[in-house]
């Protein structure tokens, strides 16, 4: 008998290169001070942080498992909300742990390895945890990627990488949840995020931001490719496609559908507990308590802004709304993702 077959490593069907100096200069001039050295994939032009280039093949070959739950989203679409909901559904017996441990430390945020990479030799709790979990591991091969691979499971994983940058076997292997939000509110939420986040350090105004968003120049863009790749596969039995706006309208009903998809036997009371646990008020209060004393990642308190639908109306001029509407028409034409804007 031969030894068990190791899956063969796939070659990347795309390359990763630096964005042009001209684009970088234009972004800087528009106020994107934290956007140096971005890379882009070719084809598709997905904008990512430079550390992605070295790890692209590892991401593409990352092995998912049948007992994984994988959360995918474009940034600012309700990822943290759904992370908390997924974690709560799987950990109903110990919800109080959420008061002590930040959500990204209760699941695996795969993108950390290029968004907030740890440097070899850092004397931090994260580095110590890595050394314990992966004694043979090398920081440059991705700390979170290796810790995730070393975990016995079941695992909850989240990433903003679009489907085509991930292992093509993902949907045939694991349960995948995709959360989408209307692009106008995503853009406004992303704008506030980039202003508050000291690494992204955006100093321009909303119209500059919206122009860059519509030109697909922001991290993890293009927005439409991201959503469309999941939308086109929405009838796959392992994909559960959700909308932020539906969660706002009826969190209980949406969580009930999610539990059914995950094959979790939850009572009505359980679903109420999950909805309550991940309500806006509870999540914001938890985050504010936990961010006390943490590094200055945000220059004003709070990752959470308002968590509402339709915020774009108060920040965009009528001309900009017009341009945005045309951009949506051009991109959603024939695909017709039923986004709701109010
Ligand atoms: P706003 O910036 O509009 O407030 P992500 O986690 O993908 O980055 O998305 C962040 C957005 O989701 C933020 O939107 C945040 O306030 C909102 N959000 C997070 N938890 C929420 C909740 N429980 N209810 C409503 N919105 C929530």
**DSSP code, position 18:** E
Does the residue 37 lie in any domain? no
Does the residue 58 lie in any domain? no
CA distances from 334 to 180, 232, 329, 338 (A): 18, 12, 9, 11
> What's the pLDDT at 145?
98
Does the residue 189 lie in any domain? yes
pLDDT in tens, 8-49: 899 999 999 999 999 999 999 999 998 888 999 999 999 999
CB 312 within 8 A of CB 202: no
The total number of structural domains in the chain stands at 1
Ligand 1 site, residue 51, Cβ cutoff 6 A: no
Q: Could you check whether the bond before residue 275 is cis, i.e. omega within 30 degrees of 0?
A: no
Taking the CA of residue 305 as reference, the ligand 1 atom at the shortest distance is 4
pLDDT of 2 over the 50 cut: no
pLDDT of 301 over the 80 cut: no
> What's the pLDDT at 299?
55
Does the residue 228 lie in any domain? yes
Ligand 1 site, residue 273, Cβ cutoff 6 A: no
Taking the CA of residue 185 as reference, the ligand 1 atom at the shortest distance is 3
> What's the pLDDT at 1?
43
Does the residue 7 lie in any domain? no
Ligand 1 site, residue 213, Cβ cutoff 6 A: no
- Ligand 1 geometric centre to CA of 16 (Å): 30
> What's the pLDDT at 8?
83
CA distances from 115 to 40, 50, 158 (A): 14, 9, 13
Mutating to test ligand 1, I would choose from 71, 75, 76 the residue with most ligand atoms within 8 A of its C-beta, which is 76
* pLDDT average, residue stretch 282-308: 72
Ligand 1 site, residue 189, Cβ cutoff 6 A: yes
- Ligand 1 geometric centre to CA of 308 (Å): 8
Helix (H, G, I), strand (E, B) or coil at 175: strand
Ligand 1 site, residue 82, Cβ cutoff 6 A: no
Ligand 1 site, residue 77, Cβ cutoff 6 A: yes
Does the residue 33 lie in any domain? no
CB 71 within 8 A of CB 158: yes
The domain in which residue 154 lies consists of: 64-332
> What's the pLDDT at 4?
54
Residue % of the chain over a pLDDT of 90: 82
pLDDT in tens, 229-274: 999 999 999 999 999 999 999 999 999 999 999 999 999 999 999 9
Residues in the chain: 342
Ligand 1 site, residue 79, Cβ cutoff 6 A: yes
Ligand 1 site, residue 75, Cβ cutoff 6 A: yes
Ligand 1 site, residue 197, Cβ cutoff 6 A: no
- Ligand 1 geometric centre to CA of 81 (Å): 6
Regarding pTM above 0.75, the answer is yes
Euclidean distance between CA atoms 76 and 189, whole angstroms? 6
> What's the pLDDT at 120?
81
Euclidean distance between CA atoms 74 and 93, whole angstroms? 30
The residue nearest atom 25 of ligand 1, judged by CA position, is: 307
pLDDT of 293 over the 60 cut: no
pLDDT in tens, 60-110: 999 999 999 999 999 999 999 999 999 999 999 999 999 999 999 999 999
Does the residue 276 lie in any domain? yes
Euclidean distance between CA atoms 126 and 272, whole angstroms? 34
Handedness of CA 281, 338, 178, 202 (dihedral sign): negative
CATH number at 212 reads: 3.40.50.300
Helix (H, G, I), strand (E, B) or coil at 183: helix
Residue 157: enclosing H or E segment and its boundaries?
Answer: strand 156-159
Taking the CA of residue 304 as reference, the ligand 1 atom at the shortest distance is 16
Ligand 1 site, residue 303, Cβ cutoff 6 A: no
Q: What average pLDDT is seen over the chain?
A: 93
CB 204 within 8 A of CB 31: yes
Euclidean distance between CA atoms 276 and 299, whole angstroms? 28
- Count Cβ atoms within 10 A of the Cβ of residue 144 and give its class: 0-12 exposed, 13-18 middle, 19 or more buried: buried
- Ligand 1 geometric centre to CA of 190 (Å): 10
The residue nearest atom 2 of ligand 1, judged by CA position, is: 189
Euclidean distance between CA atoms 158 and 254, whole angstroms? 19
Does the residue 224 lie in any domain? yes
Euclidean distance between CA atoms 163 and 225, whole angstroms? 9
> What's the pLDDT at 88?
98
**DSSP code, position 102:** -
Helix segments in the chain, DSSP class H: 21-29, 51-61, 79-90, 97-100, 112-115, 125-133, 143-150, 170-173, 183-196, 206-214, 223-231, 244-249, 251-261, 268-277, 280-291, 318-332
């Amino acid at each position: 008998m031969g030894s068990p077959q190791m899956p063969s490593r796939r070659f990347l069907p795309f390359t990763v290169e630096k964005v042009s100096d001209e684009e970088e200069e234009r972004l800087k001039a528009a106020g994107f001070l934290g956007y140096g050295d971005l890379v882009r994939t070719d084809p598709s032009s997905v904008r990512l942080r430079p550390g992605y280039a070295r790890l692209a093949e590892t991401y593409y070959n990352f092995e998912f498992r049948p007992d994984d739950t994988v959360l995918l989203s474009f940034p600012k679409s309700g990822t943290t909300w759904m992370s908390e909901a997924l974690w709560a559904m799987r950990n109903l017996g110990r919800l109080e742990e959420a008061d002590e441990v930040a959500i990204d430390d209760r699941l695996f945020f795969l993108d950390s390895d290029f968004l907030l990479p740890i440097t070899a030799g850092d004397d931090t709790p994260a580095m110590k945890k890595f050394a314990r979990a992966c004694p043979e591991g090398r920081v440059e091969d991705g700390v979170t990627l290796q810790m995730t691979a070393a975990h016995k499971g079941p695992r909850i994983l989240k990433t903003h990488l679009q489907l085509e940058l991930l292992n093509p076997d993902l949907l045939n292997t694991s349960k995948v949840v995709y959360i989408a939000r209307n692009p106008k509110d995503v853009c406004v939420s992303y704008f506030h995020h980039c202003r508050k986040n000291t690494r992204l350090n955006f100093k321009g105004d909303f119209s500059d931001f919206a122009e860059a968003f519509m030109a697909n120049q922001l991290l993890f863009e293009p927005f439409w490719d991201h959503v469309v790749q999941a939308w086109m596969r929405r009838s796959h039995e392992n994909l559960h496609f959700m909308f932020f706006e539906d969660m706002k309208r009826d969190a209980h009903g949406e969580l009930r559908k999610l539990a059914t998809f995950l094959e979790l036997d939850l009572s009505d009371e359980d679903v109420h507990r999950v909805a309550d646990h991940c309500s806006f008020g509870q999540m914001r209060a938890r985050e504010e308590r936990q961010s006390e004393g943490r590094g200055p990642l945000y220059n004003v308190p709070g990752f959470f802004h308002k968590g509402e639908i339709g915020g774009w109306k108060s920040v965009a001029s009528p001309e900009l709304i017009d341009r945005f509407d045309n951009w949506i028409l051009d991109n959603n034409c024939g695909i017709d993702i039923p986004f709701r804007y109010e």
